[in-house]
Amino acid sequence: MTALQVITIVGARPQFIKAAQLSEALKRAGHEEFLIHTGQHYDLEMSRVFFDELPIPEPDVNLEVGSGPHGWQTAQMLAGIEEILLSQPADYLVVYGDTNSTLAGALAACKLHLPLVHIEAGLRSYNRQMPEEHNRVVTDHLSDLLFCPSHTAVSNLKKEGIVRGVYQVGDLMHDSIVKNLTLAEAHSRILPKLRLEPGQYALVTVHRADITEKRGRLQALFQTFEKIAANGLRVVMPAHPRTSKALQLLGIAPVRLQLLKPVSYLDMLALEKHARVIVTDSGGVQKEAYWLGVPCVTLRTETEWLETVASGWNVLVGCEDHLIIRAVDKACPGKTRRDAFGDGRAAERIVAILSELRGHAARKSTDSQEL
């Protein structure tokens, strides 16, 4: 069998984590990957640290697009990716999730008729105020192969008429946690470094524009975190640079809440695993809480990860002070956890399907699997 040529687009923190799993499986199967980093995330703690810790190869190209308004950022990425695709032969272009890097990769592949593979397809919040929702919807509708992490994702696509090329394979982040949790437990020193006792702290992450770009909401939320800390539970927060910048701009300097720089993936897994409760607006962190069996309080009123809520492990509270405080006080383990997002072998399945369908992937020109 000749090796597949796969072009992968990454740019943001969670994409490095997911791509590491698929990169490893592609390599194991003897396939070749050309990795394009858009440069959407660029701080050492938001990018380099993941390449050092995880089995993701060094990018073949870094477009170094950096930060900026959505249209500008996506356009820069699109132009950069297109230029590379024109001279780089490939069987597939793979994009992950719902960021501007995802959308740029999808548009570039589509314009050049390169079979587009969307990993983490079919997720919906049904909140069109979120930039991620547009990115997901457009990417799914352009994709030839759609790899879904859950049954809900497959049903969401069906509601939009997307049934061809759809595969429920499980979640690469689950693969990642299965492989890395033991490593995190063995190697991370973050708990002793921060003098944290297992089960005696709340772990907080915040990065959505819906919070960081709204002055009143951000101020109120940090007052809530201060109250939780004042009530006796330690609160630690590895802060996304977007959040640190917003806090600085507004002159918010938490006293009791412990702000950290973003931490490495293994340190994050260790912090999550031993938290009494996780409070977050992150998609990935909600799922990790579920897999680790830690109660999660989500600072949103909707989620793409419905299964985490249905099982009782995750509660959606939005940004209301009293709802957050009550949810943190009452946080307790959910009832059941099923393998709603696969069994930790998503990467293997994706590579098997890519290999089998080689050359027949284009949804527009051939029939592929219909669910």
Q: Which does 21 bind (CB under 5 to 8 A by kind): ligand UDP, ligand UD1, none?
A: none
CB hemisphere CA count around 335 (13 angstroms): 5
What phi, psi does 118 have (nearest 5°)? -105, 120
241 part of the interface to ligand UD1, by CB under 6 A: yes
Task: For residues 158 and 371, give the distance between their C-alpha atoms in angstroms, rounded to a whole number.
Answer: 9
Q: Which is nearer to ligand UD1, 18 or 31 (CB)?
A: 18
Tokens describing residue 291: 């897999």
> Is the separation of the CB atoms in 286 and 67 below 8 Å?
no
Q: Which is nearer to ligand UD1, 45 or 91 (CB)?
A: 45
11 part of the interface to ligand UDP, by CB under 6 A: no
**The one segment of 138-146, 190-198, 212-220, 282-290 that binds ligand UDP by CB under 6 A:** 282-290
* Cα–Cα–Cα angle for 82, 84, 85, rounded to 5 degrees: 65
Give the shortest CB-28-to-ligand UDP separation in angstroms.
22
303 part of the interface to ligand UD1, by CB under 6 A: no
41 part of the interface to ligand UDP, by CB under 6 A: no
User: For the chain, what is the radius of gyration of the CA atoms?
Assistant: 20
Q: Detail the DSSP E strand segments found in 38-125.
A: 61-62, 92-96, 116-119
Give the shortest CB-258-to-ligand UDP separation in angstroms.
13
> Tokens 């099982």 belong to which residue?
311
Give the shortest CB-260-to-ligand UDP separation in angstroms.
8
242 part of the interface to ligand UD1, by CB under 6 A: yes
Task: For residues 64 and 49, give the distance between their C-alpha atoms in angstroms, rounded to a whole number.
Answer: 16
**The one segment of 92-100, 117-125, 163-171, 249-257 that binds ligand UD1 by CB under 6 A:** 92-100
19 part of the interface to ligand UDP, by CB under 6 A: no
334 part of the interface to ligand UDP, by CB under 6 A: no
Catalytic site includes residue 31? no
Per the document, the length of the chain is 371
Which among 152, 81, 88, 148 has a CA at the least distance from the CA of 117?
148
Task: For residues 7 and 70, give the distance between their C-alpha atoms in angstroms, rounded to a whole number.
Answer: 23
CB hemisphere CA count around 279 (13 angstroms): 32
> Is the separation of the CB atoms in 157 and 148 below 8 Å?
yes
Q: Which is nearer to ligand UDP, 292 or 357 (CB)?
A: 292
207 part of the interface to ligand UD1, by CB under 6 A: yes
Tokens describing residue 310: 């249905």
Tokens describing residue 225: 């975190």
Q: Which is nearer to ligand UD1, 242 or 256 (CB)?
A: 242
Q: Which does 46 bind (CB under 5 to 8 A by kind): ligand UD1, ligand UDP, none?
A: ligand UD1
Mark residues 255-274: x for contact with ligand UDP by CB under 6 A, - for none: -------xx-x--x------
Task: For residues 156 and 153, give the distance between their C-alpha atoms in angstroms, rounded to a whole number.
Answer: 5
The residues of the shown chain that bind ligand UD1, judged by CB under 6 A, are: 12-14, 40-43, 46, 67, 98-100, 131-132, 207, 241-242, 245
Point out the residues that are catalytic: 207
The residues of the shown chain that bind ligand UDP, judged by CB under 6 A, are: 13-14, 17, 205, 207, 238, 262-263, 265, 268, 282-285, 288
